[in-house]
Structure 1
């Protein structure tokens, strides 16, 4: 999310939706249909997939009760979700504790593979789609929305099945002392928006204030540690709430990858990001240096990621998008591969993979299955290629739709953050 998008998102709760007339609504619908055909993105779900999803969302409480004996019961652990105000589903939740000699951070992810397994129509459909496509004010889901809105949503005040990543962190280094990944039953105490999280952090004595303050302290340290280690941070001015979620999800993804590669030595869907050549990095830094009011620190030219981080922190707000674009132009595309070696250049992680969004990414869905069963799909290489290709198509589709919105006089960021309402006048 760019700096301007964050500003718009921050005020979306007070602003109403973007108003358009019926003719413009038809215009947008026609453009979406054209793009979906061009990129082979299926909008509606086949009846058999919807029927299967409907059947899996019945008798929720009874099914959770039946699962309790086979899972870790974490319902007494203080747990909460943090999402945008307009979120329809809540697929990740956090818990945190400080102990005498360690911190313990729990990242709970909705247990999608309990409901979507390789022998289901929903799994087949997920492989076809490979990801959820997010256009401004319009979403094409990877899995039927009823899952995300019911059994795979960690809603406040209800028991839910989860896949938990429990991380015991060294107090000095925040390195992993122990990683435990297991199926669980959780109970979310509260559903917070990003704005509410910011308010609670400033309000001593309010519910969750102490937990949020602790997790913010950890997230802030993890963020600074990543930058120091050479991780590229293109959004340096994120608020505390977004930073908490981003850093905790990165920590959980990295922990799962560590478990899969170093402890089990299994193939999985790893995220590999090649690095630009030295000449390409040089071109990007030169382009950034020539921007008005921008200066790349002279002592950082030999460490391009750190150079960009330092420049973004001191650059005028009006130049942030241009700096980000100069970097993105030289960055090779990240892709999914069945082994992690090659690393993730932007994050500066030796190995990395996705786990925290199985409701919207095929890679995470498959990694959940591998973690839970140790069963690696035979066609894993083909699945990696498909996920990479479909992500590229989804991003291009979004880019062309955003360009179209600008052509017809609509702000893509405003539409994305505030939604659309069709009005007669």
Structure 2
């Protein structure tokens, strides 16, 4: 089996985690309990499913019609790929890159064009608003959109033409600033779906397909990453691999480009992402807690900016203390939230303004921002400030539900990471059931993509 085929199926070549029927009932009951507590909608109403089915009867004809209309840019000749976790079910984003003759980076970030099918006034839109986001539990996903859209028609699967919203950027190789930004509707054709591990292997193999493109985009992403750290962006996972760095930095760059267009070029209200900063006293408390850890010392020249102090400390600290350093920071960090007014910025990222655009399959904020960038106004019949508050609340509910479900899995002897990567299989004979207790990898809080 080639690495291109290996992503299908379970992680690391292992089979699903096996459980008996009684434990399966316990898990089902726990999910039902959590869904009721956090008002998570586990099933779609019939009218939503019927509308989704009717809207997606002939996607190929839709794409052909869009191309013939002249309203789409044909990007199918670009070499394009997706990079996602091995267990990903929906592919929101894909990337293409070239180096221009003058040395500039020419980066395209292609995002699934959900608004072609889901628009204000439709049953699917109203259901997406109610849900607010996709909720990912280990081996159990509650989509924001009907599965036919989330997993098939909108998902940027390989070897199929797809409708997309493309953010095209020409980037100076020295300053890394935008020389040009163009945002438009497109049709793309993803050449490959790579997992993070597959992308790492391609980067190491000079003879592999996409090696040159991945090497070039990592060159750009690494520069962007180092620039963010120098500017004071908080980086809680200093050991992130090259493939994760590529996706993180490309999505941040695209989101920033769209936010720039919305705020400074068009002057539009949108669903911006705002992250308040801790008070000086809270930051001081966190830094003192970090400084007192065994084997940990904050570099003297980094104390002036707490974010830079944390970054520098994480890079030098012994591995056994990374979790404690991250937790000391997370305890004092306010929650990021959606607001129609962007000012206040994003403290963790150290961005003056920021917003989400790159995940419309799984986040309401991105879906709404796609509509605004396309229509030059917010959706009718919805107050944007209320949508921001609602999306923030639904995100918190989903994250809390996920955390409590993972705790429950641990309580019954299951490793949430193994369940998430390998899935579950119910076996009839209790003696055949496997309860894994593998030690999970450290999972740090990610920056707000």
Fold shared by both chains (TM-score > 0.5): yes
Superposed CA deviations along residues 137-189 of structure 1, whole A, max 9, x for unmatched, are 21111111110222211121111110000011011111111110000011111
Q: 2:312 aligns with which of 310, 318, 324?
A: 310
Q: Is the 8 A contact 1:13 1:85 kept in 2?
A: no
Partner of 2:447: none
Say yes or no: does 1:25 pair with 2:24: yes
Q: Distance in 2 between matches of 1:12 and 1:279?
A: 44
Partner of 1:413: 417
Q: Is the 8 A contact 2:268 2:377 kept in 1?
A: no
Partner of 1:96: 97
- Look up the SS of the partner of 2:335 in the other structure: coil
Q: Is the 8 A contact 1:116 1:123 kept in 2?
A: yes
Q: Distance in 2 between matches of 1:126 and 1:233?
A: 31
Partner of 1:394: 398
- Look up the SS of the partner of 1:150 in the other structure: helix
Superposed CA deviations along residues 220-239 of structure 1, whole A, max 9, x for unmatched, are 11111100100001111111
Structure 1 residue runs of 5 or longer lacking an equivalent are 1-10
Structure 2 residue runs of 5 or longer lacking an equivalent are 1-9, 433-449
Partner of 1:215: 217
Partner of 1:197: 199
**Which of structure 1's runs of 4+ aligned residues deviate more than 3 A?**
none
Question: Which structure 2 residues correspond to residues 12-411 of structure 1 after superposition, within 5 A?
Answer: 12-68=11-67, 69-101=70-102, 102-377=104-379, 378-411=382-415
- The more displaced of 283-292 and 209-218 is 283-292
Q: Distance in 1 between matches of 2:207 and 2:12?
A: 25
Q: Distance in 1 between matches of 2:141 and 2:125?
A: 19
Q: Distance in 2 between matches of 1:89 and 1:39?
A: 23
CA shift, 1:16, in A, is: 2.7
Q: Distance in 2 between matches of 1:413 and 1:310?
A: 29
Partner of 1:3: none
Q: Distance in 2 between matches of 1:224 and 1:389?
A: 33
Q: Distance in 1 between matches of 2:425 and 2:224?
A: 40
Q: Is the 8 A contact 2:132 2:394 kept in 1?
A: yes
Q: Is the 8 A contact 2:135 2:141 kept in 1?
A: yes
Q: Is the 8 A contact 2:86 2:421 kept in 1?
A: no
Q: Distance in 2 between matches of 1:157 and 1:393?
A: 36
CA shift, 1:423, in A, is: 2.0
CA shift, 1:307, in A, is: 0.8
- Tell me the TM-score normalised to structure 1 length: 0.95
Q: Distance in 2 between matches of 1:400 and 1:324?
A: 20
- Tell me the TM-score normalised to structure 2 length: 0.90
- How many residue pairs match? The answer is 415
Q: Is the 8 A contact 1:107 1:164 kept in 2?
A: yes
